[in-house]
Structure 1
Amino acid sequence: MKEYFCFDHRLGISIPNLELEWAQYSEETQQAILFHWEQIRGSIPDRIAELELSINQKQAQLSDESNFKTSCELNSEIAELASIINDLWLWYRANQTVSEKMHQ
């Protein structure tokens, strides 16, 4: 499946990387891709929970931080983690229709 997915280091998951139109893949390949994606998609909520834990830890640090520069850095890190969570939810929801095709 490595040829159909690439690991996104920012998101922490593999995402589809299809070079052909969907119809150009054999039905067997389509099913394998969908099965693999469903496994990845199922791990997204766990990945989000990890990131939320990290955000909570940084927010706790931020509440005790008196150094302005460090506070800005923590805020920036929290914003980046929130952005990653948003992108993960987009992948999770946008590809829900793909997952539904697998069950038809």
Structure 2
Amino acid sequence: MATEFVFNERLGIELPLLQMAWEDYAPARQEGILAQWESIRGTIPDRIHDIEQIINTKQDQLGVEENFERSCELNWEIAELASVINDLWLWYRTHQDINLKLHL
């Protein structure tokens, strides 16, 4: 049974779509999944950096924006981008948790 990695539009990365419980995969398959995930995981810090640049630009726009409605929109956009960064960090740490389980 193959494990698919599916592109997540919001996060901008592929995420694993496990077809069964992690423990039910054979150790060799777990290693293959982890290898693929490690490759994807390695892109997360760059993705976060790119989003931080967008946030900085929006904060600069917010600093000079005089239209209240547009200020609210910018604040919402910044909050959404910050949420994406938070979720990316959670996914980034996921591998560490799984890797620790394999080595225990």
- TM bucket (normalised to shorter chain) is 0.7 to 0.9
Give the Cα separation in 2 of the matches to 1:61 and 1:98. 41
TM-score, length basis structure 1: 0.87
Give CA-to-partner distance per residue, 1:71-91, whole Å, 9 cap, x none: 110010000000000111111
Residue 31 (structure 1) aligns with: 31
1:1-104 alignment, distance < 5 Å: 3-100=3-100
Would you identify which runs of 4 or more consecutive aligned residues in structure 1 move more than 3 Å? 99-104
Give the Cα separation in 1 of the matches to 2:13 and 2:34. 15
2:3–2:19 Cα contact (<8 Å) kept: no
Give CA-to-partner distance per residue, 1:1-51, whole Å, 9 cap, x none: x84221111011111110112233233321111000011111111100000
- Number of equivalent positions: 103
Question: 1:92, CA displacement in angstroms?
Answer: 1.0
Give the Cα separation in 1 of the matches to 2:58 and 2:90. 24
The amino acid of 1:64's aligned partner reads V
| Aligned alpha-carbon RMSD (Å) | 1.9
1:38–1:99 Cα contact (<8 Å) kept: no
Q: Which runs of 5+ in 2 are unaligned?
A: none
Give the Cα separation in 1 of the matches to 2:100 and 2:35. 11
2:34–2:95 Cα contact (<8 Å) kept: no
Give the Cα separation in 2 of the matches to 1:85 and 1:74. 17
Q: Which runs of 5+ in 1 are unaligned?
A: none
TM-score, length basis structure 2: 0.87
1:7–1:13 Cα contact (<8 Å) kept: yes
Of residues 69-78 and 28-37 in structure 1, the stretch that sits farther from structure 2 once superposed is 28-37
